[in-house]
Structure 1
C-alpha cells in the first residue's frame, strides 16, 4: 500500500478531503489508510491527560476508471459515507459501496 494523496485540502470547516488518483487502492486498502489516519490523530494528543483526545470520522469511496468515472459522484459517495460514520458515533470509518 504505497498510495499517497495527490490532493489534501480543507473541504469546508473541519472537513478535509484526500484524493488518491491513478492508484490501485482497493476499498479494503482505503479502509486501512483511513484507520492509519484515525490512529495517528488519536496519538497526536499523546498521553497527556490535559490535552483533549482527538477523534475523527472518515468516509471513503473508491472508483474504477472508465467511461462512467465521475469525480463529483465519487466525492458525493465519500461524503455520504462520512455522514454515516458520524451517525454511527465518534471515531468511525465507513466505506461507500463500490460501484
Structure 2
C-alpha cells in the first residue's frame, strides 16, 4: 500500500514485546526469531509506548542510523539512543524499525 508521497506504508509486524512495571519508569521486553528482530521490536516498543495508534502515523520518509557497542548491552543502549535522538531531533514519529544490516558486536 502506498501513501500520497509514493512511499510504501510500512507493514507493522506482530507485536513481540511487552511493557513491564518498574518503580521509576517502564521496562521494555522484546523477543524475536533473531537478535536483529528483537532489536527491531524493542525500538518499536519504545515508540509504541509514546503512542497507541500506529494507524494515524503516515509514512513520509525513511531514516537510517548506525549503532555500535562493545557488547550486547552497549549495542542495545546505543541503538535505542540513536532512535531516541532521531525522534527528538526530527519532526516526525517512527512507526516501523527495520534492520538492513546487523553485525554482532
Superposition TM-score, scaled by structure 1 size: 0.37
